[in-house]
Amino acid sequence: MAVITLTGLRAWLVQRATAVYMLAFIVLFLARFVIAPPRSYDEWHGLMSGAGMIAATVLFFAALLTHAWVGLRDVVLDYVHVVALRAVLLPLLALGLVALGTWIVRIFWTIGG
């Protein structure tokens, strides 16, 4: 139910904190690939299967999905004023993001395993 209470100041803070994390991750990720690009699939796979890398990447996607939830929910609050339509759109949105999250976790589960 934490997502439901993600309003006002907390949502605003989470939006900014996740943005900062994503920016840092993208910069470091790209820097790593520019400075020392993996030469083969095995090297790339090795890089992505380290425990630290998996944790950082999963956190990146968690930040992305949370950021997207706050942002898209804002769009719904701004433009969709019919309560019934909101009641359909918001759960659909949440469901879509949860499905994406599950898919991402599954991919990393496979890599890790």
Partner 1 sequence: MHFSIFRYNPEHDDKPYMQDFRIDLESSDLMLLDVILRIKNVQDDSLTIRRSCREGICGSDAININGRNGLACVTNVRKLREPVELRPLPSFPVVRDLVVDMSRFWKQYHSIRPYLVNDEPPPEKERLQSPAERERLDGSYECIMCGCCTSQCPSSWWNPDTFVGPAGLLQAYRFISDSRDRATGERLQDLNRDPYRLFRCRTIMNCTEVCPMGLSPSRAIERIRLRMLDVEGHGGGLARHRVPTVR
User: Could you tell me where the DSSP H helices lie in the chain?
Assistant: 8-35, 41-49, 51-79, 83-112
If we measure between CA atoms, which residue out of 18, 8, 20 comes closest to residue 74?
A: 8
Stretch that binds partner 1, among 31-39, 59-67, 71-79, 85-93 (CB under 8 A): 71-79
Q: What phi and psi values does residue 105 have, to the nearest 5 degrees?
A: -60, -40
Residues 6-25 that bind partner 1 (CB under 8 A): 7-9, 11-13
Residue 78 lies near partner 1 (rule: CB under 8 A): yes
Pick the piece of the chain touching partner 1 (CB under 8 A) from 25-33, 59-67, 77-85, 103-111: 77-85
Does 79 sit near partner 1 (CB under 8 A)? yes
State the sign of the Cα–Cα–Cα–Cα dihedral 34, 37, 20, 64: positive
User: Contact residues for partner 1 (CB under 8 A)?
Assistant: 7-9, 11-13, 74, 77-79
